[in-house]
Amino acid sequence: MKCVIILVRSINQLSYTVLLPHSQPVFTFLSETKEWMWSQSTFSVKQTCITNLNDWSEKAVASRIFLYTFLSVGIICTVVGNFLVVLSIAYFKQLQSPTNSFVMSLAVADCLVGFLVMPYSMIRTVEGCWYFGVLFCRLHSSLDVMLCTASIFHLSCIAFDRYYAVCNPLLYSLKMSRSRIALLVLICWAVPMLISFGPIMLDLHISGVEVQLPIDVCVFLVNRIYAVIASLVAFYLPSSIMLVAYWKIFKAAKHRNTMKRERKAAKTLGIIMGVFLIFWMPFFTINIVDPFIDYSTELVVWDVFLWLGYINSSLNPFLYGFFNRSFRKAFLMFMRCRMTSLLLFHCIALLS
């Protein structure tokens, strides 16, 4: 059963009406109000597109400026913060531990989320429309799924690493050898790529979803099979591994005189995992439920939950800096060097 899109053009507005065979119109897109009007509970999603050229009221402009400013700050924090983590681990030998190999790769994934995914998502969220074409919509969705899933996989590997460091310290060097760490990092990137680019670029994720959207709308609809499999692989299974690992770590730390440094590291990473669960749980819950309730979730809810997940990518560097003295010293050193360089450049400019 396929949808039929009827375009009705009048002097002041253009509307898209989507019909299903032997049914009433499912939704209509009005260009004057830039809003999707869905008339049935099936696919009952609403999207307000606030980019109408005539919509330059003071309230609309103020809202747009606020959203762009707020989200831009989040993007800058994500890119700069995670870049500092990568730079710190690459530069300071004392930070080049097996655990920090995962932390560095995690920071790369989070930095790419801020650099490649979040800017376009910001424009889509604020403007309410997609200006970059159908092909780039698929590419953006693929990068979104891949990088966010890679970030989650790295957190799972960090939990696995901490489990052996605290619970089986004698086996740690054997279990977490350089070759095994390299293999785990490779898995953290390869599996997310397989569950993102393959299905999305081949449209396997929407097989059986009979909704044809205009080119200026980029909505990540998925069928039930993909929603369940992708959510299990990308979130629920890694989260289960993390929860079990940290439960055993804290249980062992409570009944054993482990090193203070290891206990503190486990506590820090446990807090990072807790923040991760709080920020990503809403999105993956609604992602797996929405196809079973006929896609009735409001798009504003999707946007809020998605940006909560993005924010998690910007929080990790601050958590490292707050709880880890070595990272804090490295961050401060780089910022002082940056301030010194700017001051020196300014003095040279004045003298010249």
pLDDT band for position 19 (cuts 50, 70, 90): very low
Report the distance separating Cα 76 and Cα 314, nearest Å.
9
Average pLDDT, the chain: 78
Report the distance separating Cα 306 and Cα 320, nearest Å.
23
Per-domain boundaries in the chain: 4-38, 58-339
pLDDT band for position 6 (cuts 50, 70, 90): very low
Q: How is residue 322 written in tokens?
A: 């707050």
Helix 325-351 vs helix 58-91: angle between axes, to the nearest 10 degrees? 110
Whether 147 contacts 114, CB under 8 Å? no
DSSP annotation of 218 reads -
In this structure, whether the domain defined by 58-339 belongs to CATH 1.20.1070.10 is answered with yes
Whether 206 contacts 221, CB under 8 Å? yes
List beta partners, residue 34.
none
Whether 321 contacts 333, CB under 8 Å? no
In the block, which residue shows the tokens 């979040």? 118
Of 161, 141, 250, whose CA–CA distance to 204 is shortest?
141
Report the distance separating Cα 61 and Cα 70, nearest Å.
14
Q: How is residue 2 written in tokens?
A: 């396929």
Report the distance separating Cα 342 and Cα 352, nearest Å.
15
How confident is the model over 57-73, as pLDDT tens digits? 677 788 889 999 999 99
pLDDT band for position 163 (cuts 50, 70, 90): confident
In the block, which residue shows the tokens 């605290």? 166
Of 117, 119, 131, whose CA–CA distance to 73 is shortest?
119
pLDDT band for position 306 (cuts 50, 70, 90): very high
How confident is the model over 34-45, as pLDDT tens digits? 444 443 333 433
User: Which pLDDT belongs to residue 51?
Assistant: 44
Of 283, 224, 211, whose CA–CA distance to 43 is shortest?
211
Whether 215 contacts 133, CB under 8 Å? yes
How confident is the model over 250-281, as pLDDT tens digits? 777 666 665 666 666 667 667 877 888 889 99
Instruction: Give the least confident one: 190-199, 219-228, 263-272.
Output: 263-272
Of 43, 50, 54, 40, whose CA–CA distance to 12 is shortest?
54
Q: Which residue has the higher pLDDT, 64 or 324?
A: 64
Three-class DSSP category at 29: strand
Residues in the chain: 352
The residue type of 335 is M
User: Which pLDDT belongs to residue 265?
Assistant: 62
